[in-house]
């Protein structure tokens, strides 16, 4: 599916404190528009296994560092125009 900046992705997931289904919305943004240390996903999944944290801009590559939420030693570089999914329940 093609996404554009500003799209709202509605989804349901199971897992609130009472294990009841919840409704939530993710927003599509460009990575460069996020604040440092803001969390995001590269795909609009209902789980939080692949949550990343936006890091500093790397001038030598022209990309941003992204660190896996569950493993701070797992870093990668991503282009600023990469579409990401934000504002999900975490």
C-alpha–C-alpha distance, residues 32 and 65, integer Å:
11
* 30 located within any domain: yes
Which CATH number goes with the domain that contains 78?
2.30.30
C-alpha–C-alpha distance, residues 47 and 64, integer Å:
24
* 80 located within any domain: yes
pTM: 0.86
Range of the domain at 12: 8-86
> Around Cβ 81, how many Cβ atoms within 10 Å?
10
* 1 located within any domain: no
* 65 located within any domain: yes
Q: What is the pLDDT of residue 49?
A: 84
> Around Cβ 2, how many Cβ atoms within 10 Å?
5
For the chain, the first-to-last Cα distance in angstroms comes to: 23
Provide the number of structural domains found in the chain.
1
Q: What is the pLDDT of residue 88?
A: 85
* 3 located within any domain: no
* 16 located within any domain: yes
pLDDT tens for the chain, 90 residues long, are 799 999 999 887 766 566 666 778 899 999 999 999 999 999 998 788 889 999 999 999 999 999 999 998 999 999 999 999 999 876
Contact 84, 34 (CB under 8 A): yes
* 2 located within any domain: no
* 69 located within any domain: yes
C-alpha–C-alpha distance, residues 28 and 65, integer Å:
19
């Amino acid at each position: 599916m093609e996404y554009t900046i500003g799209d709202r992705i509605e989804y349901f997931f199971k897992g609130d404190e009472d294990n009841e289904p919840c409704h939530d919305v993710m927003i599509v943004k460009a990575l460069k528009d996020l604040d440092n240390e803001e969390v995001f996903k590269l795909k609009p999944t209902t789980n939080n296994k692949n949550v990343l944290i936006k890091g500093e801009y790397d001038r030598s590559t022209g990309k941003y560092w992204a660190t896996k939420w569950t493993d701070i030693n797992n870093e990668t570089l991503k282009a600023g125009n990469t579409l990401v999914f934000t504002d999900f329940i975490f």
